[in-house]
Amino acid sequence: MAESTIFPTVWFDGKLAPLESATINITQMGPASVSSVFEGIRAYQNPTTKALNIFQLDAHLKRFLQSIRLVRLECDYTFDQLREAVVSLVRENDPAADVYIRPFAYAESTTFGAATSKIAHVVIHVTDWDSKLKTDVVSHSAVSSWARLTDNQMAPRVKASANYLNSRYASEEAKRNGYDHAILLTPQGKVAEGPGMCLMLARDGKLITPAVTSGILESITRETVLQLARQALDLSVTEREVDRTELYTADEAFFCGTGIEVVPIVTVDRLPLGDGKPGPISTRMRDCYHDVVRGIETGYESWRTVVNHED
Ligand SMILES: Cc1ncc(COP(=O)(O)O)c(C=O)c1O
């Protein structure tokens, strides 16, 4: 995968600043990355107006502040200030194509232990990241030998950087074994999610997804997809525990998340799902999601924060 380009202006502790000037002391890197939470937000260009649609900005910032609170950091910035920070940052960098926006909050500390400062420093930066929604990308996935984190240990509901070591173990194993992605089970053997995305199955024309109590991040794309499934695709949707063998017996499955967007899973542990090609529900959902995030479908307006591109 090509390295992404970071845009020249970042937002750092209350101000827009040149990327080069936003630095931390190198001895803080370890403690700061343990004591940190983050968000990942996409902004999609509308093909006609060229405006950028920041997708689900409010939901991401709400989750960001919740993650900060749950790791017991104190944030000097309100929801409205962070919202204005993201919009002004995108406007300042004025990207001419789709971008990814990464709010990150960390505590400074001299140790890895509990003696960390409670003050949340906040940095937000923007990178490019091409959408794969109009491509034929698919996933050959494998059930991981690593179990998903649990709520009473490293709560998956909190988007904490440290949780992503669990994701790294699972992704590295899947890639090493020749797969595209891992699917993690809970320690009880129920399906949880991918390393950075949620998962949906289709059986007999119905959509099924692990419940929010199945060791998953409360994904904003998952909620988006569930709403689109009910309203736009007129599907029945069930949130419940999912057995491992339901993965193998599904007619279709797909991953969903801000980064991965909507990607059909065509095999699990080398067993083809359906005829081993993206199924009709996955394809319809991918196309519907594409039109909604770009504002080609004009409904669901409250999900998009529009920033106009200056020609
Ligand atoms: C572990 C995990 N699950 C699910 C998701 C999908 O969440 P969202 O749709 O809010 O991006 C992500 C992505 O951020 C993730 O890291």
Atom of ligand 1 nearest to the CA of 159: 16
4: in domain: no
Q: Which residues 6+ apart lie within 8 Å of 304 measured at CB?
A: 53, 54, 55, 293, 295
pLDDT recorded at residue 30 = 87
Residue in 109, 129, 127 with CA at minimum distance from that of residue 119: 109
CATH of the domain at 54: 3.30.470.10
Q: What is the pTM of this model?
A: 0.97
* Residue range 157-199, pLDDT digits in tens: 999 999 999 999 999 999 999 999 999 999 999 999 999 999 9
Does residue 196 have its Cβ closer than 6 Å to ligand 1?
yes
Residues 242 and 111 in one domain: no
Number of domains in the chain: 2
pLDDT recorded at residue 1 = 54
Kindly report the protein residue whose alpha carbon is nearest to atom 11 of ligand 1: 258
Check pLDDT > 80 for residue 311.
no
Tell me the average pLDDT across 1-8.
Answer: 84
| C-alpha 259 – ligand 1 centre gap (Å) | 8
Cβ 268 vs Cβ 141: under 8 Å: yes
Can you tell me the distance from the alpha carbon of 75 to that of 36, in angstroms, rounded to the nearest whole number? 12
Does residue 40 have its Cβ closer than 6 Å to ligand 1?
yes
Can you tell me the distance from the alpha carbon of 170 to that of 190, in angstroms, rounded to the nearest whole number? 16
* Residue range 73-125, pLDDT digits in tens: 999 999 999 999 999 999 999 999 999 999 999 999 888 776 678 999 999 99
Check pLDDT > 80 for residue 3.
no
Residues 29 and 99 in one domain: yes
Amino acid of residue 47: P
For a substitution probing ligand 1, which of 219, 222, 255, 289 has the most ligand atoms within 8 Å of its CB? 219
Residues 156 and 234 in one domain: yes
* Residue range 142-159, pLDDT digits in tens: 999 999 999 999 999 999
Residues 79 and 168 in one domain: no
Kindly report the protein residue whose alpha carbon is nearest to atom 7 of ligand 1: 219
pLDDT recorded at residue 199 = 98
Residues 273 and 156 in one domain: yes
Residues 25 and 109 in one domain: yes
Task: Say if residue 212 is exposed, middle or buried (CB neighbours under 10 Å; 0-12, 13-18, 19+).
Answer: middle
Residues 178 and 264 in one domain: yes
27: in domain: yes
* Residue range 218-256, pLDDT digits in tens: 999 999 999 999 999 999 999 999 999 999 999 999 999
For a substitution probing ligand 1, which of 167, 212, 221, 222 has the most ligand atoms within 8 Å of its CB? 221
pLDDT recorded at residue 114 = 67
| C-alpha 167 – ligand 1 centre gap (Å) | 11
pLDDT recorded at residue 309 = 80
Give the confidence band of 310 by pLDDT, cuts at 50, 70, 90.
confident
309: in domain: no
| C-alpha 310 – ligand 1 centre gap (Å) | 31
Residues 44 and 172 in one domain: no
Residues 55 and 146 in one domain: no
Q: Which range marks the domain in which residue 57 is found? A: 9-128
Residues 204 and 284 in one domain: yes
Residues 26 and 121 in one domain: yes
Other CB atoms within 10 A of residue 261 CB: 22
Please report which helix (H) or strand (E) contains residue 101, including its range.
strand 99-106
- Torsion of Cα atoms, 51 then 56 then 57 then 59, to 10°: 170
106: in domain: yes
Residues 263 and 149 in one domain: yes
Kindly report the protein residue whose alpha carbon is nearest to atom 3 of ligand 1: 197
pLDDT recorded at residue 4 = 86
* Residue range 15-48, pLDDT digits in tens: 999 999 999 999 988 888 899 999 999 999 999 9
At which of 95, 128, 161 does a domain end?
128
